[in-house]
Chain A
């Protein structure tokens, strides 16, 4: 009697769980799904930002905190659950490293593919670095004036400013992340070391106007302070136009809470606190971001297409002043100034109703992105890799033809 010949076990059956996971995460199938998802996310986000604004949509689709999302087009929910774009990109990065580099065939014939995959990996890393480490703001400078500060587009902070000789002397900053959760009756006490009082903040609203009760009666039992209350409004589609507000209360050194006051991003003047001969003011404003140099706007020129307000060309001639040395720089559309890790783009100008001969100001978008040029470099790498891959294919083809004919 002969022993039955055992059937050869399939390759898959021998694979460990780790091996199977490696197969899935390095697979071409997963890469295809991820790229399709990325395309879908981009398409839905492009449609959704028309109604919900760019900032809110980018956060919804591509912020790392967004694990899953449901698209909403023209106010109607699209019944598809999609993974967040950040995580699709992260898995794609893993997939490319495992499949495009580790698992990929090696050797000089495949060097082009490896270079091209490395370029895409570099691009995905650049996106991650920009997401986590970049900062954006804007700087508005009038012709003939100086500025050494940019303003964040979205983050409202509360500042406690000590006044000496009538001028601001030192500034304590309460960041937006510590204020924006103070909604629905929540409050928080902010201890201010070296300042003779503490501050309690509450009732934060992302978009609100201080309104006099004689102009518009409160409808939701809002706290009224000196005849005013914060009229909470829906967020603006262009999120940078939101005017945040909250209520504040000074707590003196004895721990006694003083009368409440309103802080608003729409206030013309700050709230003043005088204590023990010292003068402070408290205000809410968009976070200021100090530059390592000063810009002087020497001249601003705006050209428009004839008969329209469509910009043809904005040119800002500036002097960059740093440690006593000066440099003349021209910043214009598509020709930013890059210096010390900061990029100044020509963004807009004002006043919007300025007429020929009026004084104008120029607005620069200021970006600090450690990965600023990485996407450009990654494209060079991918192009080089594909070029090598095609050349290798051509050489192999020619060699093959030569072999056949011989």
Chain B
């Protein structure tokens, strides 16, 4: 009897404290703050998840490149080639030409180059600056993705006003080789917003 007298209320207390975790009533509020500013309503998914600000870089891509939505790190973004695996994108970032070139080469497991070797690489004019055409072939392992064999890189890196403008083309080896001239022409067509 005594045990029951203790156990029953205990079981009741345990059961009543069990919360239905599939459902919750929300009453918490907060005050309106200086961060609560009017916002765009009825925004589409593209507007909600993409930076739709005008790109600070503009260029004329070849007709056979397929324009892709830009992202935070791809100011201009394209696909090319029959396989659908070829990509070209333009970025503005910090750092030096040499370190960016070596970072790209590392993605193809290639040895780093020296400043003297960089100076000997072909120049491509882009956005009013002299860029260097970086090329590599082999197994491409970039951005945490699975390595892809028989890929190639062709890209231009140019110092622009304390920053780095990069035009990077990645894709199957044969498709990159076929599109190399397109890449050069596209790079030469690039202008920064300040230069409009």
Contacts and interface: CB of A to CB of B under 8 A. Distances in A.
Q: Is chain A's interface secondary structure helix, strand, loop, or mixed overall? A: strand
Interface stretch (A40-48, A68-76, A169-177): A169-177
Given A188-B22, A270-B43, A288 B33 contact: yes
Interface in A144-201: 146-149, 151, 161, 163, 166-175, 178, 187-193
Nearest to B69: A212
Contact of A210 (B24, B42, B49): B49
A171 B71 contact: no
Contacts of A212: 46, 49-50, 69
Interface residues of A, number: 50
Contacts of A191: 23-26
Contacts of A172: 26-29
Interface stretch (A261-269, A330-338, A385-393): A261-269
A192 B32 CA distance: 18
Contacts of A146: 34
A228 interface: yes
A228 B23 contact: no
B2 interface: no
A168 B29 CA distance: 13
A353 B49 contact: no
A178 B24 contact: yes
B147 to A, nearest CB: 16
A267 B40 CA distance: 12
Nearest to B94: A353
A328 interface: no
Nearest to B41: A272
Chain B binding site: helix, strand, loop or mixed by DSSP?
Answer: loop
A192 B26 contact: yes
Contacts of B28: 172-175
Nearest to A228: B45
A325 interface: no
B67 to A, nearest CB: 11
B166 to A, nearest CB: 16
A190 B68 CA distance: 37
A171 B32 contact: yes
Given A188-B21, A193-B25, A281-B39, A169 B49 contact: no
Contacts of A171: 29-32, 36
Contacts of B46: 212
A225 B23 CA distance: 24
Contacts of A149: 33-35
Contacts of A288: 30, 33, 35
A52 B106 CA distance: 24
A149 B21 CA distance: 31
A189 B20 CA distance: 10
A279 interface: yes
A55 to B, nearest CB: 21
Given A188-B21, A189-B23, A279 B34 contact: no
Contact of B29 (A173, A262, A355): A173
B163 interface: yes
B149 interface: no
Contacts of A383: none
A357 B69 CA distance: 33
B26 A174 contact: yes
A154 B35 CA distance: 18
Which residue among B37, B47, B49, B71 has the maximum number of chain A CB atoms within 10 Å of its CB?
B49
Contacts of A175: 28
Nearest to B92: A353
Contact of A167 (B31, B38, B50): B38
Contacts of A290: 30-31, 33
B48 interface: yes
Given A149-B33, A215-B69, A267-B48, 5 more contacts: A167-B38, A188-B22, A190-B25, A272-B41, A272-B42
The list of the 8 closest CB pairs from A to B, nearest first, reads A269-B43, A149-B33, A168-B36, A210-B49, A226-B45, A191-B25, A173-B28, A272-B41
Interface of B: 21-52, 68-69, 71, 94, 162-163
Interface of A: 146-149, 151, 161, 163, 166-175, 178, 187-193, 210, 212, 214-215, 225-228, 262, 264, 266-272, 274, 279, 281, 288, 290, 294, 353, 355
